[in-house]
Amino acid sequence: MLPLPRLAAENGGRFELRAKAEFRNPTGSVKDRTAWGIVSDALANGRLGDGEVLVDASSGNTGVAYAMLGARLGFPVRLYVPATAHPDRIDRIRALGAETILTDPAEGTDGAQREAEQWAARHPGRSVYGDQYGKPANPLAHYRSTGPEIWTQTGGRLSHFVAGVGTGGTLSGAARYLKERNPAIRVIAVEPDRPLHGLEGLKHLPSVRRPETYDARIVDQTIRVSTEEAELLRRHLGPLEGLLVGRSAAAALVASVRVGRATPGAFVVTVLPDAPPDDRPVAAGGP
């Protein structure tokens, strides 16, 4: 859990701001928790591990986590990824040995999800549909890990929990745990401010297929952030706090700052889902 005192100070300094650094997970994102929750559930129920292919849709990070687990545990992985996904994510998925099918960029993750569902339905005897947008194992992973860790690391003192909405698993699972411990904690969902945006991994829910893993009942407020706001803060955060993050993490921080400025005395906790992708060109034959 990272304190961000300088960011809070330049925004009035009357609130405490901390961020959970999920880029410290094995493949560098919060999606390691999601992928492991789905994979471990499938293994425990005997649906994976005898040659079955794990198939799912991903905008990048969950795909990397699936591919890592497939390589480590010995099961094949087939992923449907929008062609607009960052090339670094696609390169990493392929480097880990997963079969990668690029889908229509105009259809986004909704289109990738439809194609993954269709392929799994055509191959019922030899595939397991991960369904990160629908399986309860996704939010359950965060109920069992992310939520308890935040509660313990803050000594239960947080007043607001802020998280971006992609599948909704992180927000819904962690928030459910936190609300059970203290119903007064306010839960803030962060979305892009428009359908076409540059906040990779986040969904503008009014314009897309709503994930079943998103529990709107637990959300007290939704804050929408522009790509431009997130990018400005992302660039500012490096020299200010010595922290490099991606745009979705910066969007969560933009929303957190808004909450803190409007609520003197608040103890705001957010999630930094990943670090920025590597924009260096990949050389043939190795790094």
Residues noted as catalytic? 31, 248
For the chain, the average pLDDT equals 93
Q: Is the pLDDT at 116 greater than 80, yes or no? A: yes
Percent of the chain with pLDDT over 90: 89
Query: Domain locations in the chain?
Result: 2-25+139-272, 31-129
Bridge partners, residue 21, by sequence: 272
Q: What are the pLDDT digits (tens) for 16-33? A: 999 999 999 999 999 999
Distances (CA, A) of 59 to 63, 144, 155, 265: 7, 24, 34, 37
The CATH class of the 2-25+139-272 domain is alpha beta
| pTM of the predicted model as reported, rounded to 2 decimal places | 0.92
Q: Is the pLDDT at 281 greater than 50, yes or no? A: no
pLDDT at site 284: 30
Residues 6+ apart with CB under 8 A from 7: 17, 237, 240, 241, 253, 257
- HSE toward the beta carbon, residue 126, CA cutoff 13 A: 7
Give φ, ψ of 98 to 5 degrees. Answer: -85, 145
- HSE toward the beta carbon, residue 40, CA cutoff 13 A: 12
Architecture category of domain 31-129 in CATH = 3-Layer(aba) Sandwich (3.40)
CA distance 11 to 169: 29
Give φ, ψ of 51 to 5 degrees. Answer: 95, -5
pLDDT at site 278: 59
Q: Is the pLDDT at 282 greater than 50, yes or no? A: no
CA distance 270 to 274: 12
Categorize the per-residue pLDDT at 91 as very low, low, confident or very high, splitting at 50, 70 and 90: very high
Strands 160-164 and 16-21: unpaired
> What is the average per-residue pLDDT within 211-238?
97
pLDDT at site 283: 31
Fold: same for 2-25+139-272 and 31-129: yes
Rounded-to-10 torsion of CA 86, 21, 239, 264: 120
pLDDT at site 285: 28
Categorize the per-residue pLDDT at 286 as very low, low, confident or very high, splitting at 50, 70 and 90: very low
CA distance 203 to 115: 18
Size of the chain, expressed as the number of residues it contains: 287
User: Which of 136, 127, 226 has the alpha carbon at shortest distance from 173?
Assistant: 136
What is the DSSP code (8-state) at residue 29? B
Are 246 and 277 within 8 A, CB to CB? yes
Strands 186-192 and 221-225: parallel
